[in-house]
Every structure is written in C-alpha cells, then in structure tokens.
Amino acid sequence: MKYINKSKEIIVNKYNDFNEDDRLTKSIKGQLEFFTTMHYILKYLKPNSKILEVGAGTGIYSLSLAKQGYQVNAIELVEKNVDILKQNIKLQKNKNIIAEQGDALDLTRFKDNTFDIVLVLGPLYHLFNKKDQNRAINEALRVCKTNGIVMFAFITDDSIVFNWGLHGHLKYMQENIFNKDYSLKQVPEEVFATFNIYNFEKLFKDKKIKKLHLISTDSILETVTNNPNLIIDEEDFEIFKKYHLATCERVDLLGLASHLLYICKKI
C-alpha cells in the first residue's frame, strides 16, 4: 500500500498546482477531447440513465450531463477539485449531481449494478501497476449494470516522446524512462502513467465485457499545437472536428493521439 499512497501524494500535489478547470476549455486540443468524448457519451445515453464519473476533476463532463437532466454521481480524489466542483454545482443550482471525494480503487459506497454508464476519464492516467489498474477497472465494471457502458481514457506511450521528449528531453528519457525496447518505464514521480494500445487492451482480456470502440479523442492536436506556424481559425476548427469524428476510430491514426478512449459494454 506504500506504493499506492506515494502515488496519491504525487497526484494531489500535481493537481493542487494545476488549473484542471481550464484544461478542456481553453485550448483547441482540450476542446476537441471534450467534444469527441461527449459525442460518444451521448451516443449511449438513454432517458433516465444513471451516470457515475470516476475521477471527475472539476466536473466539466458531470456538470454538462447533469444540466441535460441526467442523474450524475461524481467521484474525485483531489480535495481541491472536489471543492471547485461543488462550487460549480451551487453556481448552476443543479440538483441532478452529487459530488464526493473518493478513489477509483474503492467504489464500495456504491452497490453492484447501479449505473447505466460509468466514466473513468482520468484515474488510469495515474495508476502505475497492473494490480491498481485492474482494481480500478473491476470496480467500474462492478457498479455498472449488465449491458451498461463503461468508458476508460488513457494516455499513449508515444505521445510522451512526441510532445515532451522532442522538446529537449530525449536524453533524460534515455537515461531514466526508456526501457531497452523503448517502451516507457512507469514512474510515479513522472505523474502520468502511459500505455501502448496492445498492452492496454490486454487488461480487458479476462473481463466480462464486449469492446465497442477504441477512439482518439484529441487526434494529433497535442503535437501540432506546439508548432508556432499552426494557423487554425474557428471555421477551420469546425471542419477539423467533422474530419476527426469521421476518422477517430481509424487504427492507422490512433498512435498519433495523446488521449485514447476505450469503450465497452458489460456482459
């Protein structure tokens, strides 16, 4: 448990110094991630669906869904984010959402087969060993109803190389992060856990699920927005969003993205 507690401390310190409330609204890469993820959430919502968001951050998804009339429970690890989420709920005077501090590794406050949709859009960014990853996945599946939908977001290995390593950090990665085969070591001090697609899908090999989609939520925007010569106005962005929805499940493009979303049905 010492390993888990150490990871939690690192995560809390990270988000105490980070404006999570702006992440999906202030940049085009964040806006595309939100737009794409919401598109797939809405695809599976039905009238009166009950939703659980695990790792809700400051609540941009939970608040949006509650505003549309769905009953939402939002669980978030970082106390600062929970406080902001509760403030946002008060500002919206929204009675469809319950926000609580909690951990993706322990959802025992909820009974089995409670929710129609379970969103795990952040916790796997910060779980560094298979035991914890499996525990978070199993807990999300446990509280989801049979035939319900569970969505898991994760970060790709290669995005760290493209978006951080190529900005003056490859020597550091060579000395501290790369394995001999150039996969990445999972180091809690680096804050973010990452996966290649094949290893991520292996986590679900023995789960009682049916895979529905594996999608890119932010395309190549994490990489190209670092280019000072990038020119994209509002009209261009609307065109790119349409292109992205048409191509976000293409296998040949998945590796270009930073954030992927694995969507499955509990069976």
Domains of the chain from N-terminus onward: 2-266 (3.40.50.150)
pLDDT band for position 124 (cuts 50, 70, 90): very high
According to the model, what pLDDT value does residue 36 have?
98
pTM: predicted TM-score of the whole model, two decimal places: 0.92
For every residue of 47-67, DSSP letters joined together read TT-EEEEES-TT-HHHHHHHH
- Distance (Å) of CA 89 to CA 62, 113, 139, 185, 213: 10, 26, 26, 39, 31
In this prediction, residues 169-180 reach a mean pLDDT of: 95
According to the model, what pLDDT value does residue 189 have?
83
- On average, the pLDDT of the chain sits at 92
SS3 content of the chain, % helix, strand, coil (to 5): 45, 20, 35
